[in-house]
Structure formats: C-alpha cells, structure tokens
Amino acid sequence: MQATKAFCCMKRLSRKLLFILAAILLLIVIGAVIWQKFKYKIIENSLSAKVAQHTDSLYTVQYDSLSFNEATGNASIKNIRIIPDTSRAKKLSVENMPDFLMDVTIKSLTVTGVKTAKALEGSSLEGDSVIIDNPDIILYSLKALQKGTKIQVEANELYKQILGKLDLIKVGFVFITHLNAKGIDFFKKSKNFDFMNGKLLLQDILIDSAHHLDTTRILFCRQAAFTVDSFFSYNHDRKELSVKNVHFLGKQKQLLFDQISVNRFENDTSASIRLLDAKGLTLNGVNSNEIVKNKDLVIDTILCNNIIVYQLPLPRLKTTTIQTVRSADSTGFVNVYGVYMKHLDFPKVTFVPFAKSNYTVGNIAIKINEVKADQIVELQMHPMDFTKEAEVSVNSISLKSKDDIYTFNADNITVNSLQRQLNIHSFDIVPFAGEHQFANKFNYQTDRYDVHLQGISLKNIVMNDLLDNKLTASNLVIENTSAKIYHDLHKPLRQKNKVGNYPSQLLEKINLPINISTATLKNAYIEYKENETVSDSIGVISFANSKLNITNITNLPAAIQKNNQLNISFQSNILNSIPITGNFKFVLNSNKGDFFANGHTDAFDASILNKVSIPMALININSGKINSIDFSLKGDDTNAGGDLVMKYEDLKVDILKRDKNTKEVKKRGFASLAANLAVKNSNPASSGLRKATPQYQRNIYKSFFNLVWKTVFTGMKETVGIP
C-alpha cells in the first residue's frame, strides 16, 4: 500500500516537473521571440532614459536604426544624434553650468567583439573595436577654461553623461573617420574654431576607477594618432590661424604641420592682414599627457626650415594688452595653458616688405631655448621674462632714404637675450653718387656724408624694453669709424633754419625712448672737405686716431631729471699731427640749446695748418710754433662765447691770391708785409700773456660745429692781432 502511494506520488511529481520544464522552455521560446522582435525598442527606451537621468535632462539621443548580434558581439547604430538642451543650459547657475555643450551627429557607429553578457548587465563594456564614421560636432563653450579644470575628468564625465555610468570600458581600438567639428561661443555666437576632415586612432582604451592615475595613458588610451585636413581659429569670426594637413604621431611624440598661415587685424572689424606663412613645421617630444592633464604645452623642439613673414602696417595696429587678450579669449586657452619648450630653431625666415617699400631684409634665423610660462598670455605680453635665451640673426638690411639720396646698409646683425647684446658687423651710409655729381644734384649747399662703422656692440640691453619699442642699454661700442663729409661752397647757402639740430635736441626728437649709459668710439677717422670759392680748390681737415666717449644718452624725462647733461669727451689728431683733447656738454632739458665746450692742444709746428689755411683762407704760414691752445666756451641756439689762450712764438705769414687766368696761387707782397706788421709774433710777449674772449653770433643756416669753429677761430685771430 505504501509502495503504491509512493509510486502515485512520484508519478504526479514527474508530471509536475515535466510541466514546469515545459513551461520554462515555452517561456524561453516566447521570450526569445519577444526579445528578437522588441529588443531594439527596449534598448532605445533604456538608453534614452539613462541619458536623461545622468545628464539632468541636458541631452537627448536619437537614431534611425540599431542592430546587434549577441553571438558575435557586433553592434551597429545608424544616424545618431546627441542633442543638447540649450535653453535649459542658459537657466543654470554659473556653478552648475557645464564648461561646454556638444551637439553631435554621427552617420554610423560600429562595435565589434563586445562581451554581450556584461554589456547587458550594464556594469561594463568590453570589445575589440569601435568605428565611428562621419561624426559632426558643434562644441559650445559656456565658460572659459580654468587651470583647475581636469580635462580627463571632464571627458570621462561627458562619456558617462551620454552612455551611462559603467564601471569598466575596455576597447582594443577606436577609429574615428571624417570627423568635422566647430567651436562656437555659446553666448556671443561667434566662431572659435573649425576642424575639418579629421581621422583619429585610439589604441588600448581603458576607463575604470583608476585609469586617471595611469600616467602612461592619455584620454583613456595607451596610444593615439590623428590627422586633420585643415584647422581654422577665429578672431571676431575672421580667420586668424589657418593650418593644413596636421599629423600627430603619439608613439613618436611628433606633431607635424604641412602649412600654417597667421593673420593680424588692425581692429575688431577690419579685414585680415597676412602676417606669416610656414611650411613643414615639426614639433618633437610632444608630451600629450601634460597637454590634457595639466594643460601645459610641453615640447622638446620646434623646427621649421621655411617661414615667410610679411610686413605689417605697425603704426596703425592697436597695442595689445593683457586685458584685451583675456576678454577676447572666450575659451580660456591663452590664460590657462602653460608653455614649456626646450628648443626652437627657424634657420630660414624670409621677410617680405610691401611692394613699394624702400628696404630689403636678408635671411633671418631665430633660435629660442628653454621657454617656461604658466600661461600663454604671459609669454605674449612679456616673452623675455619666460625665455632663457632667444637669438635673432639677420644677414643684411638695406634701407633707402625717402629722397633716394642715401642707402643705409647693415650686415650680420645678431641680438641675443641671454647675452643681452646686439652685434652688428658693419653699418654704412652710402651716398647715391660721387662728390662732384652729388653736389651738382642740388641748387644749394648740401653736405654729402659717406660713413662706415664696423664692430658695433650694444651691451646689457633690457630686452622687454626693446620689445616695447624702447632702447635701454649700458654700453654702445664701435670699434672702427670712418666719416667723410663733403661740402661745396660754389652753391648758394640754403636758407633753412638749423636751430634745433644740436645733438641733445636731435636726441629729444627721436620717436623712440632711449637710455644708453655710455657710448665709445674706439678708433675714428673724421674728414671734412670744402670746395672753396676763394681759392677754387679743396681744403681738407681730418681728425685721425680719434677716441670718443659719450655718456648719458637719453631722452627719458625721469633719467634727465637725475642727470641733465649729455657729455662727449674726445681725443684726436688734427691733420695727423696736432693732438687735441676736450669735451662737449649739452643740457638735455634746455629749451634754448645750452651747451659747454672746452679743448686743449699740445705743441705743433704752425706750418702744418697750411693744409687748411691756404685753400680755405689763402694764408700761408711761413714759420712759427704753436705751443698750446686752450679754450672754454658757453653757447646756445644763437651765439657762443668764452675764453681762449693760444701760446705761440715766431709766427710769420704770407697773404696769397689766385690768378684768375692761370689759376696759380701767388704771394701778395704788400698785403703780406702789412699782415706781418699787424701780426703779434709771440704770446706771451714782453707785455705778458694775452687772453682772448671771443664772441660769435651764429649763422642759423649753419651747423653746431660751424659755430664752435668760428668762435675758436675768432679767438685765435684776436690773439694774433688779425682783425
């Protein structure tokens, strides 16, 4: 009986178990049919709900079709649209407002090798590859970038916002093709940048709770590379930077640019002015980890062998200030990103002046070492403060004067910020023609200058002042100087007032703040020629083996307040035989050209002066010895006067004349006799030492040096007794 009951019980249990198993199988079959029919709708609803949940309703997702195969782990989504709620973003407080919004359209997204079970659980996404085709992105910047912003975290958060909070994302590689992006200022609606036809490859992507601690990864991946057909950045919707064919090789740490163009603008509404073109720019040792994580542009070297710089209408360009840079930078880039670079080398920079410019510039070479700036804007405003060494070399510069009379040439010019020094191998002022032809070009007396300077050094330059169009330095040294001046007296004197042309006054007129402590001309030769009307011959006075020392060369009011005298001390040999020393002092803040001059000559044979006295004055010195000349003068714009003592002995002279027919110079007997009777042969004489107090009224149509010479010559004539 018991066995029968047990058997019946087992029979009922077996039927129940079979029923349960059958029911489970039926449910599986029905579930599979339902899943295959409705799985895309279920996923779509789930995805849309998650996006709204995790982005506080800032984004919605739309797409045309979704398909995947659980067996292979392959999935594909077509025509994806990730849409930001811009109206909601405007209502958020500044604290809650995101740094940027993205409006994304993707033609297709394909995922291969996904581990389906884990993906469906929602805890992780692991796959072989992700291929994103034709993404089109609009990046709205809402807030300027801050130094504390963690881009890697921002990127991670954005990923979570769009795809949900997964614990692990692991993909072999991501390939993005035909990427186009544009940056727009959210509130001003102005363009920030355009990014066209990019291709991006990311390898070994990993996002988990500890990925941000892995310094070997950048933006979640172990390695990255990309190419971009073109990139443009804008200034008030005008193209400021244009880049063609950009290549980044993450493994090699190289960033390559085929072509770069930079424009400048006179104001906020003007058309662009071409500033720079470059080809083949290479950045080596690019630390992409620093760029993203710490917002620092860390680069070993920048190289480019072909750069063209165009002349700018600088007087019309606005002066940039830190404030205007900050306000114009809606992205925060220049105020947040730092620059750390070891070396820059541009060996060939070609400068292109305006078509009608009157100057040419030879090859320019630029080298920069060790740049360290926490913000790009600091480097823009005060580059020398954040650069260990910058050197600019120019093969040659040639400039024609506005009237085409002179050409100014300089060669081998180098300025080095570490040495704080400017070196120029040579500088020349070259007249357009020879002495006679030059004089015949004008209807009035005109000085012709022929100048050669060699071995020029300007030391201890304040480099930031130089960049701000100020010249501050301690020493100017010129090793060799040759200056030749030719003047033809056969032409009438030009009735042009030369008042205001003293060295101190010319310094004040220079439209450049200057403060140079000392200038030294070590070996100077100065020659002055006059084509005389009296003798119809050329007189030459020369100053050989000259040394000049000039102090307090400045037009800065603050410096002048401390020291108001420009001092020029000199020593030379007149006519190669007469040693002379002296100095000039010019009062820098005088409104009437006040100056002081003094000089001293040692003994010399008086007949040496015949080189000058015969052609210039038709006076021949037969005999005599000048023991010394001492003078001390004070003058201004209109006159000069002072004291002169000339000591001499046994002075005898002949007065000459030039025959009009034969052009022969002959002695005038009676005039010579009268002159020698009038001339006082010695000083001191028996009556004692004679001191002259010459006074001379300036001819305002003649130079400063003419005034000094005429005053000294007046004192000499007074001492000798010639009226």
- Residue 217: in which H helix or E strand, if any? none
Q: How far apart are the C-alpha atoms of 319 and 468, rounded to whole Å? A: 10
For 145-201, the pLDDT digits (tens) are 666 555 555 555 555 544 455 567 788 888 989 999 998 988 888 888 999 999 988
Q: Which residues contact 538 (CB under 8 A, 6 or more apart)?
A: 529, 530, 531, 532, 615
> In this structure, is residue 611 part of a structural domain?
yes
Predicted confidence (pLDDT) at residue 204 exceeds the cutoff of 90: no
> In this structure, is residue 128 part of a structural domain?
yes
Alpha-carbon 384 to chain mean position: 10
| Token output for 229 | 């057909």
Pairing status of strand 100-112 against strand 65-69:
unpaired
Q: How far apart are the C-alpha atoms of 88 and 71, rounded to whole Å? A: 41
Same domain as 53, residue 174: yes
When mean pLDDT is compared over 92-96, 262-266, 685-689, the highest value belongs to 685-689
Domain that holds residue 56: 38-235
Where do we find the tokens 């045309």?
A: 64
Bridge partners, residue 421, by sequence: 416, 459
> In this structure, is residue 463 part of a structural domain?
no
> In this structure, is residue 470 part of a structural domain?
no
Same domain as 285, residue 228: no
Position with higher pLDDT, 291 vs 231? 231
Residues 553-587 as b/e (b if ≥16 CB within 10 A, e otherwise) read bbbeeebbeeebbbbbebbbbbbeebebebbbbbb
On whether the CB atoms of residues 427 and 456 are closer than 8 A, the answer is: yes
Same domain as 295, residue 230: no
Handedness of CA 17, 19, 24, 28 (dihedral sign): positive
Percent of the chain with pLDDT over 70: 81
Whole-angstrom CA distances from 309 to 233, 469, 510 are 19, 19, 27
Last residue of a domain, one of 348, 377, 400: 400
For 707-717, the pLDDT digits (tens) are 998 899 899 88
Residues 156-168 as b/e (b if ≥16 CB within 10 A, e otherwise) read bebebbbebebee
* Of the listed ranges 26-35, 211-220, 644-653, the one predicted with least confidence: 26-35
Q: How far apart are the C-alpha atoms of 664 and 146, rounded to whole Å? A: 90
State the average pLDDT over residues 596-620: 88
Where do we find the tokens 């979704």?
A: 66
Q: What is the DSSP letter of 377?
A: H
Position with higher pLDDT, 664 vs 585? 585
Q: How far apart are the C-alpha atoms of 133 and 359, rounded to whole Å? A: 53
Same domain as 188, residue 124: yes
Residue 396's nearest CA partner among 414, 408, 410, 381 is 410
State the average pLDDT over residues 205-217: 64
- Secondary structure of residue 418 in the 3-state scheme: coil
Using a 10 angstrom Cβ sphere, with 0-12 exposed, 13-18 middle and 19 or more buried, the burial of residue 270 is middle
Count of C-beta atoms within a 10 Å radius of residue 612: 18
Place 673 in a pLDDT band, splitting at 50, 70 and 90: confident
pTM confidence score? 0.78
State the average pLDDT over residues 444-450: 93
On whether the CB atoms of residues 452 and 424 are closer than 8 A, the answer is: no
Last residue of a domain, one of 200, 235, 270: 235
| Token output for 187 | 């509130």
State the average pLDDT over residues 76-97: 82
For 312-367, the pLDDT digits (tens) are 775 544 444 444 444 455 566 677 778 899 999 999 999 998 878 888 999 999 99
Give the pLDDT confidence score for residue 198 in this predicted structure: 92
Position with higher pLDDT, 263 vs 376? 263
Same domain as 652, residue 579: yes
For 489-544, the pLDDT digits (tens) are 888 998 889 999 999 999 999 989 999 999 999 999 999 998 888 777 888 899 99
Which stretches does DSSP call E strand in 266-358?
A: 272-284, 296-303, 306-310, 338-352
> In this structure, is residue 569 part of a structural domain?
yes
Place 63 in a pLDDT band, splitting at 50, 70 and 90: confident
Predicted confidence (pLDDT) at residue 3 exceeds the cutoff of 50: no
Dihedral through CA 270, CA 272, CA 273, CA 274, nearest 10? 170
For 43-55, the pLDDT digits (tens) are 445 445 544 444 4
Give the pLDDT confidence score for residue 320 in this predicted structure: 43
Q: Which residues contact 658 (CB under 8 A, 6 or more apart)?
A: 534, 535, 536, 618, 664, 665, 666
Using a 10 angstrom Cβ sphere, with 0-12 exposed, 13-18 middle and 19 or more buried, the burial of residue 670 is exposed
| Token output for 396 | 């040659």
- Residue 672: in which H helix or E strand, if any? helix 669-678
Residue 582's nearest CA partner among 530, 620, 623, 546 is 546
Angle (CA) 83-84-89 rounded to 5° is 165
Alpha-carbon 339 to chain mean position: 17
Handedness of CA 607, 609, 611, 617 (dihedral sign): negative
Residue 384's nearest CA partner among 451, 440, 462 is 462
> In this structure, is residue 492 part of a structural domain?
no
Could you tell me the end-to-end alpha-carbon distance of the chain, in angstroms, rounded to an integer? 173
* 171 HSE (CA, 13 A, CB side): 23
On whether the CB atoms of residues 425 and 362 are closer than 8 A, the answer is: no
Q: Which residues contact 325 (CB under 8 A, 6 or more apart)?
A: 334, 335, 377, 380, 381
Predicted confidence (pLDDT) at residue 118 exceeds the cutoff of 60: no
Residue 303's nearest CA partner among 231, 368, 225 is 368
Percent of the chain with pLDDT over 90: 45
Same domain as 557, residue 641: yes
Same domain as 670, residue 526: yes
Place 696 in a pLDDT band, splitting at 50, 70 and 90: very high
Give the pLDDT confidence score for residue 12 in this predicted structure: 41
For 382-438, the pLDDT digits (tens) are 888 889 999 999 999 999 998 999 999 999 999 999 999 999 999 999 999 999 999
For 294-316, the pLDDT digits (tens) are 778 889 999 999 999 998 775 54
Same domain as 257, residue 153: no
Average pLDDT, the chain: 82
Same domain as 276, residue 262: yes
Dihedrals phi, psi of 36, to nearest 5 degrees: -65, -30
* Structural domain count of the chain: 3
Dihedrals phi, psi of 212, to nearest 5 degrees: -70, -15
Same domain as 313, residue 187: no
On whether the CB atoms of residues 566 and 596 are closer than 8 A, the answer is: no
Give the pLDDT confidence score for residue 521 in this predicted structure: 97
Place 38 in a pLDDT band, splitting at 50, 70 and 90: very low
Q: How far apart are the C-alpha atoms of 525 and 484, rounded to whole Å? A: 8
Last residue of a domain, one of 235, 251, 280: 235
> In this structure, is residue 323 part of a structural domain?
yes
- Secondary structure of residue 637 in the 3-state scheme: coil
Same domain as 268, residue 219: no
Give the pLDDT confidence score for residue 13 in this predicted structure: 34
On whether the CB atoms of residues 557 and 600 are closer than 8 A, the answer is: no
Same domain as 215, residue 270: no
> In this structure, is residue 26 part of a structural domain?
no
User: How many residues are listed for the chain in this entry?
Assistant: 723
Q: How far apart are the C-alpha atoms of 540 and 707, rounded to whole Å? A: 18
